[in-house]
């Protein structure tokens, strides 16, 4: 059957990527577009991105597109804002709906860096008072289909744009995911391949300049020069997760993330859910650990220590006429001097 072939393909690709990328610190800093790694919503942040085996609805567009089709209503929308590190804010909006036997999703992620003082070779301190603000935007289009009550498949395409003044780096990447729930055991499995795409490269007017060639006579014609920037890879990932449900309202999550340009990671999380009089609520927490496979002698602590600590959060959803309205909040600690903890507030609407 088709879904069996899809599962086989995903497993083969997972094995290839796992063997190909060692998850080593030697490659840290060689990839770009790190904004695609920053989680969205509040529940996923609270659970430390450990729940891709069971994530459902609009939340799944980032964590595992296979789960988009597991919506409790025909249409879902989410709006969230994150206070990230170093006074960076992230705004996120997503929308999903059922159509033509599947579920489609669309999201918009934008970062606010504030005004940064403009410097140059002749004004290294930025005394001119001029400022600029980078623009990092990610548009995601997703599709998911349930092949049975136990198997789901999804794919998401991301359009990435990084702009600094008149210099831009466009990018395109693909996520693919599957979810499987055992028919007798209280176990669910998720596999996600993230950020598979070609290299990105900056180009634009800011990489061009005019200058008089060196060692030439006065009156020499000014030459136009263009600097060629180095192309960079995207942060490809393989996420393999398991969820164990010992009780109907308790989920325990665990995930292994193979990073192509950084140390591998283990993510853990747990959540408790309850429903009463049409209202539902949840509370949970999580943590992550780095898997350092290399000999770390001589490595800087900033590389071998995990910047992010424990996380926790809670939320609720209530019926309002023919729709549902929910609010989620999450908090993640940041273990680095001078950097603030992460706070996420998300609003969810279903109708």
Q: Using CB atoms within 10 A of its CB, is residue 92 exposed (0-12), middle (13-18) or buried (19+)? A: buried
pLDDT at 237: 93
pLDDT at 336 over 90: no
- Mean pLDDT, rounded, for 137-155: 95
Q: Who wins on pLDDT, 214 or 113?
A: 113
Which structure tokens are listed for 13? Answer: 């690709």
- Mean pLDDT, rounded, for 195-201: 94
Range of weakest confidence among 160-174, 183-197, 331-345 = 331-345
- Cβ–Cβ under 8 Å, residues 258 and 13: no
Q: What percent of the chain has pLDDT over 70?
A: 86
> CA 223 to CA 213: how far, in whole Å?
7
pLDDT at 282 over 80: yes
| pLDDT band per the 50, 70, 90 thresholds, residue 340 | confident
- Cβ–Cβ under 8 Å, residues 63 and 52: yes
Query: Which of 142, 83, 79, 161 lies closest to 340, judged by CA?
Result: 83
- Mean pLDDT, rounded, for 50-78: 96
| pLDDT band per the 50, 70, 90 thresholds, residue 19 | very low
Domain positions in the chain are 2-350
State which of 10-19, 42-51, 229-238 shows the largest mean pLDDT.
Answer: 42-51
Q: Using CB atoms within 10 A of its CB, is residue 344 exposed (0-12), middle (13-18) or buried (19+)? A: buried
- Cβ–Cβ under 8 Å, residues 177 and 52: yes
Average pLDDT, the chain: 87
pLDDT at 73 over 80: yes
pLDDT at 146 over 80: yes
- Mean pLDDT, rounded, for 117-124: 81
Q: What is the pTM of this model?
A: 0.87
pLDDT at 200 over 90: yes
pLDDT at 83 over 90: yes
pLDDT at 229: 87
CA 263 to the chain's CA centroid: 16
Long-range contacts of 169-172 (CB under 8 A, 24+ apart): 169/32, 169/33, 169/200, 169/201, 169/202, 169/203, 170/200, 171/33, 171/197, 171/198, 171/200, 171/234, 172/197, 172/198
| pLDDT band per the 50, 70, 90 thresholds, residue 20 | very low
Strand 31-32 to 233-234 pairing: parallel
Q: Using CB atoms within 10 A of its CB, is residue 2 exposed (0-12), middle (13-18) or buried (19+)? A: exposed
| pLDDT band per the 50, 70, 90 thresholds, residue 305 | confident
Range of weakest confidence among 29-38, 119-128, 199-208 = 119-128
pLDDT at 168: 94
pLDDT at 65: 97
DSSP H helices, 50-166, are: 60-63
pLDDT at 296: 55
Residue with tokens 């909040």: 329
pLDDT at 251 over 80: yes
pLDDT at 11 over 70: no
pLDDT at 112 over 90: yes
> Span 2-350: which CATH code?
2.40.160.40
Range of weakest confidence among 23-32, 76-85, 132-141, 237-246 = 23-32
Q: Using CB atoms within 10 A of its CB, is residue 333 exposed (0-12), middle (13-18) or buried (19+)? A: middle
pLDDT at 316 over 70: yes
> CA 254 to CA 257: how far, in whole Å?
10
pLDDT at 329 over 50: yes
């Amino acid at each position: 059957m088709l879904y069996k072939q899809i599962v086989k393909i995903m497993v083969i690709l997972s094995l290839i990527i796992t063997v190909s990328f060692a998850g080593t610190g030697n490659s840290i800093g060689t990839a770009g577009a790190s904004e695609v790694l920053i989680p969205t919503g509040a529940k996923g942040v609270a659970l430390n991105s450990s729940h891709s085996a069971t994530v459902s609805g609009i939340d799944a567009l980032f964590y595992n597109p296979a789960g988009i089709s597991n919506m409790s209503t025909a249409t879902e929308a989410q709006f969230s804002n994150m206070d990230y590190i170093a006074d960076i804010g992230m705004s996120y909006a997503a929308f999903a709906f059922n159509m033509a036997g599947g579920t489609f999703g669309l999201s918009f992620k934008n970062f606010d860096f504030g005004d940064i003082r403009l410097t140059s070779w002749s004004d290294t301190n930025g005394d001119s008072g001029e400022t600029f603000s980078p623009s990092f935007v990610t548009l995601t289009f997703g599709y998911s289909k349930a092949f049975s009550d136990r198997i789901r498949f999804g794919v998401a395409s991301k359009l990435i744009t990084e702009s600094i003044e008149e210099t831009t780096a466009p990018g395109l990447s693909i996520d693919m995911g599957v979810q499987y729930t055992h028919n007798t055991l209280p176990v669910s499995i998720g596999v996600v391949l993230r950020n598979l795409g070609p290299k990105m490269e900056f180009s634009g007017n800011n990489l061009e300049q005019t200058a008089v060639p060196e060692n030439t006579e006065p009156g020499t014609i000014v030459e136009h020069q263009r600097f060629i920037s180095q192309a960079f890879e995207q942060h490809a990932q393989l996420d393999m997760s398991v969820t164990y449900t010992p009780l109907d309202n308790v989920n325990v999550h665990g995930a292994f993330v193979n990073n192509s340009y950084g140390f591998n990671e283990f993510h853990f999380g747990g959540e408790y859910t309850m429903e009463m009089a049409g209202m539902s609520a949840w509370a949970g927490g999580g943590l992550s650990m780095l898997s350092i496979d290399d000999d770390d002698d001589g490595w800087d602590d900033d590389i071998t220590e995990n910047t992010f600590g424990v996380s926790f959060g809670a939320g609720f959803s209530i019926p309002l006429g023919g729709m549902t309205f929910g609010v989620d909040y999450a908090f993640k600690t940041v273990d680095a001097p001078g950097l603030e903890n992460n706070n996420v507030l998300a609003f969810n609407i279903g109708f």
